[in-house]
Amino acid sequence: MRLSLTTYLFLLNTVLLAAAVAAVGALWFAHHHRVVQAEGEERAMVMAQSVAAMPAVRDGLASEDPSQELGPMAERLREASGFEYIVVADEEGIRHSHPVEDAIGQPSSIDASSVLAGSEWTGVERGPAGLTLRARTPIWGEDGEVIGYVSVGILTSDIDGAISEALPVIAGTLMTALLLGGAGAYVISRRIRARTHGLEPHQITELLDSREALLYAISEGVIAVDHDGRIVLANDAARSLLGLSAEDIGQLPEQASLPPEADQLLSGDGPSSDELLSIGDRIVVCSRRPVRVGEVDGGAVITLRDQTELTQLTGELDGARTVTRGLRAQRHEFANRIHTVAGMLELGAVERAKDYLTELSAATIRANAQVTERIGDLTLSALILAKSVQASEQGTALDV
């Protein structure tokens, strides 16, 4: 099923908008996840550093029973801060505080060598409490040596819960943007349909192909100018008649390479109905018709018909008609003279017939000589001789 232009544009814009919104949502969620995780790591590290810096912790590690000193204190801090655990371990990795009492006094299962070497560490590890986000920092003794470390952990589920709390805001914002964008896509598609007068793409293509075929198939020249007077279209016939080039399309008449006679033709002062104009060595019939789209001035369309050959053929036809009439008159005159001679011969007036023919021959030769001596153009000479014969037939004197 072929979709309409409005539906196609609406769906296309909506799909593109949905893809953009989804990409923005994914980036927003990933950024929020990193921010929340970074905040959790920072909180855990600050807590670990605070515990490690407490004199009571250092004194507790140096006591005979560190677990009795550090265990209750770490639990109070854990419950007050909301962390999953706060573990204090000595330099051997023995834990002296832990939420699980059975883990107190047991060596840690993690590799804390980097922390015991004096470095801080944050990351995600799996331990007895589950998958946790952890921060470990060394505990420095008064002599500047590492005497243990503090490990603070937050369950990743708590981090995920904090991230999930922002999902309604993110989803609501993206859905609002999608709805507003969809409404905008619908309005745009309707505006485009109105601008194309409700035509579908295949109809526009067919209309364009038909227009091109029509304009370039006809022998008449067609030029279109917009309301500013710029040349927007010219078919091959018009380009040939006016000497237009492809670079002249889109130019004003005075900017185009046009003959001087064509400036008035394309201007607003050009002929509005069929009128003969001489453009170069051609006789052209020009007609200008204004174009209006609704109430808007759409420019004008100028049609050109080359009448040069037709004018020449008309002149030649007039000449042929004149010669034909002259030949008809000569034939009629010749027949009269033959009848005259035949009558003289029947009456026995032979000498008179001879004199008559001699006189006719001399008159014809004299007339021909007078015309050919004074007029060098053979066509014009023949025309005058034919007219003289017609005048003679009608008893009219012809003076040249």
- Same domain, yes or no, for 17 and 114? yes
- pTM value surpassing 0.85: no
**Residue 104: which CATH number?**
3.30.450.20
**Torsion sign (Cα): 249, 250, 256, 259:** positive
Give the whole-angstrom CA distance, residue 212 versus residue 235: 9
Q: Return the bridge partners of 234, or none.
A: 223
Q: Does the residue 201 lie in any domain?
A: no
pLDDT digits over 20-72, tens only?
888 988 888 888 888 888 888 888 898 988 888 888 888 888 888 888 888 88
Split at pLDDT 50, 70, 90, the class of 291 is: confident
Q: Does the residue 208 lie in any domain?
A: no
The residue among 274, 306, 338 that closes a domain is 306
Give the whole-angstrom CA distance, residue 304 versus residue 296: 25
Q: Does the residue 177 lie in any domain?
A: no
- Same domain, yes or no, for 157 and 91? yes
- Same domain, yes or no, for 153 and 34? yes
- Same domain, yes or no, for 47 and 149? yes
- Same domain, yes or no, for 300 and 329? no
Q: Does the residue 184 lie in any domain?
A: no
**Per the structure, how many domains does the chain have?**
3
- Same domain, yes or no, for 29 and 82? yes
Average the pLDDT over 339-368 and give the result. 73
Query: Which residue in this structure is represented by tokens 């639990």?
Result: 75
- Same domain, yes or no, for 318 and 295? no
pLDDT digits over 208-217, tens only?
777 767 766 6
- Same domain, yes or no, for 345 and 284? no
Q: Does the residue 189 lie in any domain?
A: no
Mean pLDDT taken over the chain = 77
At residue 268, the pLDDT reads 58
Q: Does the residue 206 lie in any domain?
A: no
Split at pLDDT 50, 70, 90, the class of 74 is: confident
Query: Pick from 50, 102, 94: which is nearest to 74 by CA?
Result: 50
pLDDT(17) > 80 = yes
The residue among 165, 191, 209 that closes a domain is 165
- Same domain, yes or no, for 274 and 342? no
Burial class (CB in 10 A: 0-12, 13-18, 19+), 137: buried
At residue 329, the pLDDT reads 66
Query: Pick from 139, 136, 3: which is nearest to 62 by CA?
Result: 139
The residue among 130, 145, 165 that closes a domain is 165
Burial string for 219-234 (b: 16+ CB within 10 Å, else e) reads: eebbbbbeeeebbebb
pLDDT(185) > 60 = yes
Query: Which residue in this structure is represented by tokens 């550090």?
Result: 70
At residue 378, the pLDDT reads 67
At residue 154, the pLDDT reads 85
pLDDT digits over 85-139, tens only?
888 888 888 888 888 777 888 888 777 888 888 888 888 877 666 677 889 899 8
Give the whole-angstrom CA distance, residue 122 versus residue 38: 10
Look at 180-189, 316-325, 364-373 and tell me which has the smallest mean pLDDT.
Answer: 364-373
Angle CA(263)–CA(264)–CA(265) in degrees, nearest 5?
90
Boundaries of domain holding 337: 312-394
Other beta carbons less than 10 A from residue 206's beta carbon: 12
Greater confidence, 157 or 43? 43
Average the pLDDT over 149-166 and give the result. 79
Give the whole-angstrom CA distance, residue 288 versus residue 212: 20
**Side-by-side strand order, sheet with 275-279:** 231-234, 221-225, 296-306, 282-293, 275-279
Q: What does each C-alpha distance from 197 to 9, 140, 190, 201, 293 come to in angstroms?
A: 15, 82, 11, 11, 11
Strands (E), the chain: 85-90, 121-127, 130-140, 146-155, 221-225, 231-234, 275-279, 282-293, 296-306
At residue 145, the pLDDT reads 87
Q: What amino acid occupies position 298?
A: G
Q: Does the residue 173 lie in any domain?
A: no
- Same domain, yes or no, for 223 and 354? no
Average the pLDDT over 282-287 and give the result. 76
At residue 206, the pLDDT reads 76
Q: Does the residue 203 lie in any domain?
A: no
- Same domain, yes or no, for 54 and 132? yes
Average the pLDDT over 164-182 and give the result. 83
- Same domain, yes or no, for 38 and 118? yes
Look at 59-73, 225-239, 272-286 and tell me which has the smallest mean pLDDT.
Answer: 272-286
